Amino acid sequence: MKNSGNAVQNYYSTLTGWMIPTSRAMDAHNIDIAAALKTCDISQDAMADQESRIAAEKLSQLLNYCNVKLARHDFSILVAEQFHPGMFHALGYAMMSSNTLQDALERIAHYKRVVSNTCQLVNYEEKGQFVFEMQIITYETTNRPVLSLLTVETFLATIIRFSRELVTLDFSPKKISFAYPKPDHDMSYLDNFFNCEIEFSSNKTAIYFDLKQTQEKLMCGNPLITHSHEKMLDEFMARIDKNDLSHVIKNKIFELLPLGAPSQTEIAEYLGMSLRNLQRKLQDQGTSYKEILENTRKKLAMNYIVQQHLSLSEIGYLVGFSSVGNFNRAFKRWTNQTPGDYRQSQKA
């Protein structure tokens, strides 16, 4: 993808459902919504279609705009306080009818792509705690996180506001960690809202919950309601996947790489479209098949290279190179090091 263009920034998006609490917070603090949307180049239609998407960069701009208008830094919390389950489409209602808080958090991780394609959500148990971690995607050429700290604050605060709806209004997590440096301005609003330890410059962005508390049965649990909403979510995700051409192509490349790198023609045939149509659609998204293939191979290779049980020739095969020499040349192009030297430097 061409990170220099707007196409990449627009690719990383989130549900326009975020406009529900955002517009409510703006209205409650007398911010002119129409003027704000115009300044941030956000269509008024974003307020109407709950299945459309808004670029993550534009949402970040809007949150920042509101902070500037109010001459404060806590608009993230003001948005979270306006939580409404509809902001997450059917997922919000499925979460609200979950049997336990842990069920709800695992559900949002499973259906994360409904909400956004800007991160992975991973849940796991650690030392008596339940960890809800955001693994935020970074732009490949700059390594800058796709999500700003302000946007991440808003999301994590919304998760806690949602948790308070399910459990009890005075519910607090054990800890919040941000893989971002601490800003220069006063951050006491986070302490006041989360009511727990706040850590910056951490190795992860996550919420730490008390494990037992997340496993307590909730009064609002209703499997029938949850099931009906999950059916809607599965259908919604199928529509997302069909529309996300780059995502479909990447998945097919992953599948076929051990048999050799698939050609653009093969992928076009798999998708049931002409080669010219495929090229045009990818160009509209600001990318190309060659770029997607290159990035997919690189990402896989970087994951495999640190797995010591895999030989370099095996890695080359797994990422679709017909010879070790071709793999070595590609790897050196990506890292300025040979695979062997890179692996040694990682071990050191």
pLDDT in tens, 12-31: 888 888 999 999 999 999 99
> 244-347 in CATH: which number?
1.10.10.60
pLDDT of residue 3: 34
* Exposure letters 27-60 (e unless 16+ CB within 10 A, then b): eeeebebeebbeebebeeebbeebeebbbbbbbb
Where are the domain boundaries for CATH 1.10.10.60 in the chain? 244-347
Paired residues of 138 in beta bridges: 145
> Which residues touch 270 (CB under 8 Å, ≥6 apart)?
252
As a whole number of Å, the CA-based R_g of the chain is 22
pLDDT of residue 219: 84
How long is the chain?
348
Q: Quick one: how far is CA 237 from the chain centroid? A: 15
Rounded CA gap, 215 and 108, in Å? 16
In this structure, which CATH number among 1.10.150.110, 3.20.20.220, 3.90.1520.10, 3.30.1240.10 belongs to the domain 6-239? 3.90.1520.10
Sequence letter at residue 141: T
CB contact at 8 A, 10 and 2: no
Residues of the chain with pLDDT under 70: 1-11, 46-51, 140-141, 238-244, 285, 348
CB contact at 8 A, 163 and 150: no
* Host H or E run for residue 170: none
pLDDT of residue 1: 32
Residue whose C-alpha is closest to residue 97's, from 233, 261, 239, 190: 233
Structural tokens at position 131: 């960890």
Global pTM reads 0.69
pLDDT of residue 256: 85
CB contact at 8 A, 167 and 220: no
Q: What is the DSSP string of 89-122?
A: THHHHHHHT-SBHHHHHHHHHHTHHHHBSSEEEE
Structural tokens at position 209: 């919950």
Where are the domain boundaries for CATH 3.90.1520.10 in the chain? 6-239
> Which residues touch 140 (CB under 8 Å, ≥6 apart)?
1, 3, 295
pLDDT of residue 4: 35
